Every structure is written in structure tokens, then in C-alpha cells.
Structure 1
Amino acid sequence: MRVIADNEDGLLLWHPAGSDFARLVDADGKTQHEVTVDRMRDPKLVLLTWQKYDILVLMPPRAAYSVWWFFRDGTFTGWYVNLETPYRRQPDGVDTNDLILDIVVTPDRQWEWKDVDEFDGHIGNPLYFDRATADAVRAEGERLIKLIAAGDFPFDGTYTDFRPDQRWPTLRLPAPLDPQPGLAE
């Protein structure tokens, strides 16, 4: 992703459609959404192309979430709240772990949970999280839902008019990832 800002509000990142991203898949093409990591057969990172939507991502410091602004053909189409561990800086970027449960939000701030069954199915799995962690993840989601309902930052219209510099190139990952045709929505 392209770094737009790195300040007290957090990391603000841009990832346009057509750019590369990497995803862990197993020999059968299954992702972690379809099979737990311990059951993946011969897992590897593959190079895919992000499709349909441009995204602007805010990763607030020490926060257990990121907020994604989705744009299609330059028009804001909604937010996505990705519940995740607070990011940790690394020499080549940042690391975070996805906590599965997400919130999808329309431009008029109607919201719905996403991946509830998958989240509930991983509670107690030692590779994922225990009940206490799951309760904390859901509580953070509930806190964010209150911000959504109130129209508070970051759901207050901030960045909904974001326009990238047209000179920015499509983002490419370095080899040696195995290129695979793919699609993310």
C-alpha cells in the first residue's frame, strides 16, 4: 500500500484496484476463510490482483481495528471495519493479525456484522483465540458501532472525497511470489 500519512492519527494507506496483494492459499486453492491454518495443505503466499474497489485504509496507533474507505470509479461506496490486533512496525512495513469479525458500513451508516459464523467457529481454537479474546473483539466492534451510529470520526465523512494523485503508479509486489490469477472483493 502507498503511505499517504503517518502521524498521530495513524497510518493512512492507499491501495488502488489493479494493484498486487498476497494471500495465503493451500494446494486446493483454499484460504484461511475456508479452512483453518493448521488444516491447510502445502500453504503458500500467492500473488493476486486487487479488483473492483480502490481502498483507503486508516490504521490508528494501538487500535484493535482498521477502517477502510471503499471507492468505485472515484465514488465512495462505504466503510469496512477490520477487527485486528494493533499493528506492530517492522523494518519492511507493519504486522497485524486479522481477528476475523468485521463490520460493513454503507455511506448512510447502516451497518452489519460480517463473518460472524467463521468468527464463532474459531473461538477456542489454540491457533486463533480464546473466549476472553473473542469477547474483547466483539466489545471493540460494539464500541465502533456506536461511533458509526453517532457519525463520529472516522464515520463523519472524513476522507469520503479522497482523490489519489493520478500520477501514482499501480502497486507491484516484488518477486518471488507465485503469480496466480485471482480476485478479491
Structure 2
Amino acid sequence: MPFQPGQVVTRRYLRGPWVTWVQPMRVISDDEHGLLLWHSVGSDIARLVDADGNTPHDVAVDRLRDPKLTLQSWTDYDILVLMRPDAAHAVWWCFRQGAFAAWYVNLESPYVRRPDGVDTTDHVLDIVVTPDRQWEWKDADEFDEHIGNPLYFDGATARTIRAEGHRLIKLIEGGEFPFVGTHTGFRPGPDWPTLRLTGTPGFPATRPA
């Protein structure tokens, strides 16, 4: 069953036995074009943080010491996120004070639905795109460091992930959807509250068996 516009769902990242990220998202639409979600500055997120303050961006998740999901506040950009069925990426539209500021391509596994949200696995490597479609890789060094770790990807899978990135770069350079004017003028409803995880279905989060 599709999610309903206005419904709040949780978008989660999984890695092995861990839930590494949980984010409450407002559903804008859920149809054959994909699942379109909204998250505003000041809303809750939960990320995996260990006893030394490290996150999976700092060290591989299997090297974190006593990690726990920790509530934090989302900063910098309001985001509109498009997750298309069977796509190995999500595209974010980033807004600052109501103005479109950038696209962000998050390379990730095709999402899996839960009754109260969606799960995916982050592929670490990302692409940042300016409004005039100038792009650059993000977290390439971190991506390379994880190749060969069985919790992440082997060499063949890493090449597949990079190939997906290069496919999207061709769309960026060609000015093809979604890197066009679609959604760049999006505005949230004036009465939409910031989103909280406490009491939200899917949080506290546990890793499926």
C-alpha cells in the first residue's frame, strides 16, 4: 500500500546488524514516479554514535565502541528526497531559507518498504550538484577505505556503485530529469511542524532479524 500525503514515516539506513540512521520524513507523494519525502531544519534525526563520539563517517561501523542511536537535530538545509522504485540512489533537493541551493545524490541500495517507513543501505559515495549543474564527488576517500570490508562492498560491488554514479553524472551534465527545474520551487505548507522521532512509528529502531 502506498503511503499517504502528510503521513510521517521513518527513513532508515542499515549496516549489518546495526541501524545507523533514522530520519522522520513527511510524505509528499507516493506513486509510480517515486516516493517523495520532506525533512526540515530543526527536525529530529538519530545517528549511530559510539562511546568515543565517533560515527560511521569517522570509522567503519564494526570498529565503533559501544555504539548507540543518538537523537540530534538536523541542520543547514531543508531537504526534499526522491526515492524511485528499484533505484540505487536517492536525489535530494536542498533548500536554504526557502531558496533552492543544491542537489545531493545519495548512492544507496534500492529501498525496502516497512509498514511505517523505508530501509536502505548507504553506499557511502555521493555527488553534490550546484544549481548550475556543476558537480563533485563527496566522501570518495571514505568509500575507497571500505572496499573489501564484508559489511560494506567488495571490489566488484564498488565498481557497480561508481558506475551508478557515472550514469547519474551524465544526467547532470545533460540537464536531464531530475536535474532540471522540477521541484526547485517547492515550498512546504506554512503550518508544517518540525518532525520528532519520539513517539514516531519505527523509533526506537531495531535491526530486523
**TM superposition score category, shorter chain reference:** over 0.9
2:193 is aligned with 1:166: no
Q: Which amino acid aligns with 1:126?
A: P
Partner of 1:7 in structure 2?
31
Give the whole-Å Cα distance in 2 for the aligned partners of 1:87 and 1:127.
Answer: 18
2:120 is aligned with 1:119: no
2:70 is aligned with 1:36: no
Q: Structure 1: which 5+ runs fail to align? A: 178-185
Give the whole-Å Cα distance in 1 for the aligned partners of 2:171 and 2:35.
Answer: 20
Number of equivalences: 177
Give the whole-Å Cα distance in 2 for the aligned partners of 1:106 and 1:23.
Answer: 26
- Percent of aligned positions that are identical: 71
Partner of 2:22 in structure 1?
none
* TM-score, normalization by structure 1: 0.94
* TM-score, normalization by structure 2: 0.83
Partner of 2:15 in structure 1?
none
Per-residue Cα deviation, 1:68-108 (whole angstroms, up to 9, x for no partner):
00000000001000000000001221000000000000000
2:82 to 51, 58, 75: 58
1:142 to 138, 161, 166: 166
Q: Which runs of 4+ in 1 moved over 4 A?
A: none
- Report how far residue 174 of structure 1 moved: 1.4
- Report how far residue 23 of structure 1 moved: 0.4
Q: Structure 2: which 5+ runs fail to align? A: 1-24, 205-209
Give the whole-Å Cα distance in 1 for the aligned partners of 2:145 and 2:124.
Answer: 10
- Report how far residue 35 of structure 1 moved: 0.8
Q: Which amino acid aligns with 1:99?
A: H
Partner of 1:181 in structure 2?
none
Give the whole-Å Cα distance in 2 for the aligned partners of 1:143 and 1:126.
Answer: 25
Per-residue Cα deviation, 1:115-173 (whole angstroms, up to 9, x for no partner):
00000110011111001110000000000000000111000110000000011111000
Give the whole-Å Cα distance in 1 for the aligned partners of 2:115 and 2:64.
Answer: 28
2:85 is aligned with 1:68: no
Partner of 2:117 in structure 1?
93
